[in-house]
Chains A and B, each alone.
Chain A
């Protein structure tokens, strides 16, 4: 699976949009981008995933560049409860076998400032 690079930490003011970047310059054509977050002492929470089109759900939006070498997770109106470590993961989807392991790096520690 392709390696990802994320900034180690970011701050964002409460109520503003939080934009978390991820670089995955070695991504291949059949690899998806997944985002998870982990609040201290809890299990990771799935946020969103995509292949090449931009995606939006009730939690966030995922913007993937046209060359797919980077992406941005957007939390549109950040709250204090969004303070967490955010992980960007690139993984092959194996349609004939299903899921295998997720490789979590060290992620971005996002702190929402009141």
Chain B
């Protein structure tokens, strides 16, 4: 079945440590996105990529980095510069035209030890 796979489902980070969240899709979608969700709140865009080897900052990119070396993959690194990284991270993808909706993975919950 086609879909978006995020791993791991739960992740723990020590202070000062970088961690990388995986996002893979087999939907042949051009565009991919990373959102952050905090308890009781909506989603906030971290980074997005419309095409391989290109990505743009979203509303809250500070302390995060991404790469898009393959169409299927869009990993997110949460760096030690992100002072409040505890959140639910969601990856999404979409066909890169017009009205097409974004489809989401099941998320990674990151916590600080």
Taking Cβ atoms with an 8 Å cutoff, the residues of A that contact B are 32, 34, 41-46, 49, 51, 87, 93-95, 97-107
Contact across chains for B102 and A32 when beta carbons are under 8 A apart = no
Give the residue of A46, A97, A103 whose beta carbon is less than 8 angstroms from that of B42: A103
Residues of A within 8 A of B101 (CB): 34, 46, 49
Q: How many B residues face the partner with a CB closer than 8 A?
A: 34
Q: What is the count of residue pairs linking A and B with beta-carbon distances less than 8 angstroms?
A: 69
Taking Cβ atoms with an 8 Å cutoff, the residues of B that contact A are 4, 6, 30-31, 33, 35, 40-43, 45, 48, 50, 58-59, 88, 90-92, 94-107, 109
Question: B39 CB to closest chain A CB, in angstroms?
Answer: 11
Question: A89 CB to closest chain B CB, in angstroms?
Answer: 9
A87, B35: Cα distance in complex, Å: 15
Given contacts A93-B98, A95-B98, contact A101 B103 (CB under 8 A): no
Residues of A within 8 A of B99 (CB): 32, 49, 51, 93
Tell me the interface secondary structure of chain A in the complex: loop
Residues of A within 8 A of B40 (CB): 106
Contact across chains for A98 and B90 when beta carbons are under 8 A apart = no
6 A-B pairs with CB atoms under 8 Å apart are A43-B107, A94-B98, A98-B50, A98-B100, A100-B48, A104-B43
A100, B59: Cα distance in complex, Å: 11
Contact across chains for A99 and B90 when beta carbons are under 8 A apart = no
Contact across chains for B102 and A102 when beta carbons are under 8 A apart = yes
Residues of A within 8 A of B102 (CB): 46, 99, 102
Contact across chains for B58 and A101 when beta carbons are under 8 A apart = yes
Contact across chains for A44 and B48 when beta carbons are under 8 A apart = no
Residues of B within 8 A of A93 (CB): 98-99
Question: A94 CB to closest chain B CB, in angstroms?
Answer: 7
A80, B6: Cα distance in complex, Å: 26
Across chains A and B, which 4 residue pairs bring their CB atoms closest together, nearest first? Answer: A43-B104, A104-B42, A98-B96, A101-B45
A51, B33: Cα distance in complex, Å: 24
A44, B58: Cα distance in complex, Å: 19
Contact across chains for B97 and A95 when beta carbons are under 8 A apart = yes
